[in-house]
Chain A
């Protein structure tokens, strides 16, 4: 089956530092990937749509200069949380949409737990 990985699975950083999270589709190509954020005991909220070869599309209220997205290839998207602060602590989840051209589910990564001290 289709597998999406994320790295790292968890990270602890100091306030003011930047953290990069990788999302990879392991056995399929994905022009489009999505980044979600989930706070404890809450639902997933879409942050942005990552498009290979073009700029990401951010949801309303999400700062594009703070959450930098780079979709470098058809199997890799990265999310960089710049100048992280404690309020950025959250569970970040990516999903990838196969380029099959057929109606197909998105596949989710296992998530990355970010804790900012």
Chain B
């Protein structure tokens, strides 16, 4: 679920490997999700988003998969590079049906460390 106040799980990979970061959500009515990347000491940056009418969306080296049955989404990073080291969050806006995001609820996050 979208827990807060807990320390972040970690994922360590070797450069060139593929990385998979997971996020679970609790609201079955949720219909829009965003993945953000946060580098150390910086604000979050948008990576990719997905609507609930899709189960997969691809970007540059990233793929998001959405499984509505088990309320789970994942971010896959292909050929992970040291520059991908960061904290990755899934997030859900409150105004998914509107013209703006509204408030964002962030998931727990995962610390990704890429070793050269």
> What is A's interface to B at a CB cutoff of 8 Å?
4, 6, 32, 34, 41-46, 49, 91, 93, 95, 97, 101-106, 108-111, 113
Contact = CB atoms under 8 A, between A and B. Distances in A.
Interface residues of B, number: 28
Given A41-B7, A41-B8, A105-B46, A46 B89 contact: no
Given A93-B44, A95-B104, 14 more contacts: A41-B8, A42-B6, A42-B8, A42-B109, A43-B89, A43-B106, A43-B107, A43-B108, A43-B109, A46-B105, A105-B46, A108-B45, A110-B41, A111-B43
Contacts of B99: 101-103
B95 to A, nearest CB: 9
Nearest to B93: A106
Contacts of A45: 4-5, 106
B44 A110 contact: no
A105 B34 contact: yes
Interface string B97-116: 00111111111110100000
B45 A44 contact: no
Nearest to A32: B100
Contacts of A109: 43
Interface in B37-59: 41-46, 49
Contacts, number: 67
Contacts of B3: 43
B43 A42 contact: no
Interface in B41-91: 41-46, 49, 89
A42 B4 contact: yes
Contacts of A42: 4-8, 109
A44 B100 contact: no
B86 to A, nearest CB: 13
Given A93-B43, A111-B43, A43 B8 contact: yes
Contact of A44 (B42, B44, B101, B102): B44
B93 to A, nearest CB: 8
Contacts of B8: 41-43
B62 to A, nearest CB: 15
B90 to A, nearest CB: 10
